[in-house]
């Protein structure tokens, strides 16, 4: 049964529960058996709370779209009373929450059976998941020598390994889309403020961070986004309203779209040849579907954006660490090297730099909006097509946090931004973006292709993703472990 169930997406599993073909308890049994079978190799699932899951089933699950389907929360944010967290850090081990976050309340209302958390890097700062608090790196089910990505790397690995059909993640610089690309999954980052942040934070990283999901199918993401979207009480700002919702949007193809294809970085540097070819192949697929595809890349100050992103995240990291320390010394047994060096770097910045960096991010968002809008002498694109990562998934250990060069780690030669030069652009601009599992390297590693749309055009983007999924299905392409 476990192998049969592991090939289905969450929507199909929920239908099986609803029709009586399988029970929520049987699905939970299968998920826990998969944890026992696969987690020792990948180190993705932590803080298992089987009793909480059994109790939720016994008390009666909400009658939502995913009633009875096993689920996992990322071990960073998504605060839940029944699910304490380490937040990727020894400093925050076994944090208990006094109340549920708004995003967890909405996820729970879908009827999922959450039974634990998935690994994340300390502070969510990184494109890999190798936090010391978990006793070792999280590995990619497709090839254990490679990373599953970050910061939602545990979620990506758990779904790719067949432990769960979908899982919660979050994305402040690509942290849903990078694991999606690395693990052969679908990952969607919504327009800024589409999902709630409260009550534990007003916004994440100056509005650049947002929750999301790692899924095998576009429809699972669409249904979950519809269940969770909308501001929570007291939200500082809200996303433009949806016309009909994500699920309605994927029920029919979008209009024929203008697509700008970029097979380099957004500043013109070459990327891995296999990855560039995957982008061009995606462009050819879109052309075959009747969309207009031509070369293009945004006219925007990407270098300025990344410097501002680095400073905002550095200050945010320092603030959270200093708050958690509560006067204790900042020592290596509590905080890893990248976190300690982020604190040291933040201390060198003038007190005005944070607001200056936020202003630069906002200016960059306007530049990107202008690119998509076009002008009197040229039409802007509806969609920007690129790679998700500049190369296939990195080897484990290449981007570990046991180092003291936060800025170089992010933007130095061979750093995270060179490896992932696409994703953070759309956290800064606030635009919706998605990674689709359309490519594969000669060595068998997944390659994600990235699509982004104008601010607020989530429905059009996810409709295009569904059209691509229908034309080039990826469901049958799975890690051998799964």
Among this protein's residues, is 395 annotated catalytic? Answer: no
Catalytic residue among 89, 101, 151, 170: 151
What's the mean pLDDT in 360-379? 94
Closest CA to 243 of 5, 458, 432: 458
Residue with structure tokens 């749309």? 453
| Domains of the chain with CATH codes | 2-300+359-471 (3.90.1300.10)
CB 434 within 8 A of CB 451: yes
Catalytic residue among 175, 190, 217, 320: 175
2 — pLDDT class (breaks 50, 70, 90): very low
Using CA atoms, how far apart are residues 456 and 447, in angstroms rounded to an integer? 26
Residue 169 has pLDDT above 60, yes or no: yes
Residue 5 has pLDDT above 80, yes or no: no
Using CA atoms, how far apart are residues 243 and 458, in angstroms rounded to an integer? 10
Among this protein's residues, is 420 annotated catalytic? Answer: no
| Digit-coded pLDDT (tens) for 256-301 | 999 999 999 999 999 999 999 999 999 999 999 999 999 999 999 9
- Note if the pTM is more than 0.75: yes
Enter the tokens of residue 286.
Answer: 């879109």
What's the mean pLDDT in 135-161? 98
3 — pLDDT class (breaks 50, 70, 90): low
| Digit-coded pLDDT (tens) for 41-75 | 999 999 999 999 999 999 999 999 999 999 999 99
Using CA atoms, how far apart are residues 213 and 227, in angstroms rounded to an integer? 12
Q: How far, in Å, are 45, 233, 476 from residue 35 at the CA level?
A: 7, 36, 21
Using CA atoms, how far apart are residues 347 and 314, in angstroms rounded to an integer? 10
Catalytic residue among 74, 170, 189, 320: 74
Among this protein's residues, is 19 annotated catalytic? Answer: no
């Amino acid at each position: 049964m476990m192998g049969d169930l592991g090939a289905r997406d969450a929507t199909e599993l929920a239908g099986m529960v609803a029709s009586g073909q399988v029970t929520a308890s049987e699905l939970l049994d299968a998920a826990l058996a998969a944890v026992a079978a696969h987690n020792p190799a990948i180190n993705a699932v932590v803080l298992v709370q089987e009793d909480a899951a059994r109790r939720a089933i016994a008390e009666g699950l909400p009658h939502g779209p995913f009633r009875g389907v096993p689920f996992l929360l990322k071990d960073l944010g998504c605060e839940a009373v029944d699910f304490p967290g380490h937040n990727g850090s020894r400093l925050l081990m076994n944090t208990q929450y006094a109340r549920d976050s708004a995003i967890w309340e909405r996820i729970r209302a879908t009827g999922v059976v959450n039974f634990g958390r998935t690994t994340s890097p300390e502070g969510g700062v990184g494109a890999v998941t190798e936090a010391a608090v978990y006793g070792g790196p999280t590995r990619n089910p497709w090839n254990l020598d490679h990373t599953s990505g970050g910061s939602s790397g545990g979620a990506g690995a758990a779904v790719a390994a067949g432990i769960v059909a979908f899982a919660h993640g979050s994305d402040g610089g690509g942290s849903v889309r990078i694991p999606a690309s690395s693990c052969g999954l679908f990952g969607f980052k919504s327009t800024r403020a589409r999902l709630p942040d409260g009550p534990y934070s007003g916004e994440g990283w100056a509005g650049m961070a947002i929750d999301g999901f790692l899924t095998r199918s576009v429809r699972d993401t669409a249904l979950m986004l519809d269940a969770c979207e909308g501001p929570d009480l007291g939200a500082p700002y809200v996303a433009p309203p949806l016309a009909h919702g994500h699920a309605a949007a994927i029920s029919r193809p979008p209009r024929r779209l203008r697509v700008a294809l970029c097979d380099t970085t957004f500043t013109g540097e070459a990327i891995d040849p296999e990855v560039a070819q995957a982008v061009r192949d995606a462009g050819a697929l879109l052309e075959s579907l009747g969309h207009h595809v031509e070369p293009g890349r945004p006219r925007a100050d990407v270098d300025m954006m990344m410097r501002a992103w680095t400073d905002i995240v550095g200050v945010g990291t320092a603030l959270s660490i200093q708050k958690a320390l509560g006067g204790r010394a900042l020592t290596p047994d509590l905080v890893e090297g990248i976190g300690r060096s982020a604190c040291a770097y933040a201390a060198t910045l003038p007190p005005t730099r944070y607001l200056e960096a936020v202003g630069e991010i906002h200016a960059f968002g306007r530049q990107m909006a202008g690119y998509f809008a076009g002008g009197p002498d040229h039409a802007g694109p509806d969609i920007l097509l690129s790679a998700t990562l500049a190369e296939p998934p990195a080897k484990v250990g290449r981007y570990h946090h046991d180092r003291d060069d936060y800025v170089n780690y992010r933007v130095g030669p061979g750093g995270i931004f060179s490896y992932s030069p696409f994703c953070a652009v759309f956290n800064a601009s606030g635009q919706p973006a998605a990674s689709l599992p359309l490519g594969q390297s000669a060595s068998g590693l997944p390659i994600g292709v990235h699509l982004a749309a104008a601010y607020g055009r989530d429905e059009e983007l996810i409709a295009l993703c569904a059209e691509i999924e229908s034309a080039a299905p990826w469901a049958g392409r799975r890690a051998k472990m799964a």
